[in-house]
Chains A and B, each alone.
Chain A
């Protein structure tokens, strides 16, 4: 959400004429335009707002009428609760996207009961707030008129159903299509990629395959003048069918050490406990608001860091690890851990209109503290990034850095070097310290017990 030049209006918020987000003195506000006054009043007066907020499905806000508005079209200014870390659907695990989809449908069902309907169903309108999929666009509601179809049906299928079906039934990595197609996976592409057997599922047959066929057949035809309407019963039937179809989609990682990540580490329990103890002590001392755990695996150390009260974004490249991490957040109702999918060697870019709609990974920082545990050898050796460049990257990502050095003698590094020439003469403890001193002051350096690994705490210069 980069600020536009000469205006506080945020660049991810321009499509909907009902209002927009703007930031003033570091506080986030949403202007509600006069055209939306009736709908907003209905949302608040019908009790729908209250019910959705209580269920954790809608972001709470306060009215901030003392704030002067950005334009004459203003009806009201509200101040929504600030999301601690904005994430995007291509960074979510399977269950995160599934929960976001189910939250959207649950909101639509509750809205219908209150005589309203969602006028959009964008995955970008959902964020994880206190661990739960939450709608952050207070202006997504419109008055429901009997007979009216769901205007967001196509968007829902593209943003949620198609990617979920592809992830569950074709390949988990296909969620990355969302990084290319900002308005969701085109249904003809989803239809083509999905296995033929998915035509035997009523939900996938209708909402994806037939839907894609109809889009092609009727493309550009004027349907506004066509007669036809949809009863409320039909609307409910449609929403329930989407819900049932999505609930049936399941993904369980195969071929990964599901649930046993830390059984395959090569170091002793003592070293592991020592590492936990140091991470715990140092984060408690630093008291960061926002910590990024880069290469978090299933989030063991994110949780240790989270004990300091920090909001921890727990990034990993492995969809299975992120999935497991999120399931733990969900089952333990953890509020300050956000697991996300991220390839550190190719982090999320800024995308969308003018490359400003969705922020890059770095653009959402810096964090107060970056954890880079058992990750340096993947960057420096597997990905051939020179150590000084890794130092530069981490210095941009956060003020404090808690980094673990894994030496060449370590079996994990030996494995990485097994099939290739060792062209990394500088990859050593001394080499790392020399490279990082350019950007950081090294505050602590502790050798882990029963291990050749070293844990550092560094402060950016």
Chain B
């Protein structure tokens, strides 16, 4: 892979691979949540706003 032209940190071989594996799994969760809130949306259930995290961490 040839991204990260500015990266000065060594991401570490093991860290790199384990991250891909864990993130793939966690990405499924994010995708599932997104579709679930869409389905809920069809039934008129309002989902949390996208900016909620921003507001919370800005306190």
Contact = CB atoms under 8 A, between A and B. Distances in A.
Interface stretch (A1-9, A234-242, A270-278): A234-242
- What band does the interface of chain A fall in when counting residues whose beta carbon is under 8 Å from B? 35 or more
A120 B18 contact: no
Contacts of A56: 58
A211 interface: yes
Interface in B1-48: 1-4, 6-9, 11-20, 22-31, 34
Q: How large is the interface on B (under 10, 10 to 19, 20 to 34, 35 or more residues)?
A: 20 to 34
B9 A119 contact: yes
A233 B19 contact: no
A218 B26 contact: no
Nearest to A117: B4
Given A142-B7, A219-B14, A221-B13, A238 B19 contact: yes
Interface stretch (A22-30, A149-157, A315-323, A352-360): A149-157
A246 B20 CA distance: 20
Contact of B3 (A57, A110, A145): A145
B28 to A, nearest CB: 8
B11 A149 contact: yes
22 contacts: A39-B6, A119-B6, A148-B3, A150-B19, A151-B4, A153-B11, A154-B11, A154-B15, A213-B14, A214-B18, A215-B12, A219-B13, A221-B13, A222-B13, A224-B1, A226-B17, A228-B17, A228-B20, A229-B20, A230-B23, A230-B24, A240-B30
Interface of B: 1-4, 6-9, 11-20, 22-31, 34, 53-54, 57-58
A-B CB proximity, top 5 nearest: A237-B26, A234-B27, A215-B14, A154-B15, A106-B57
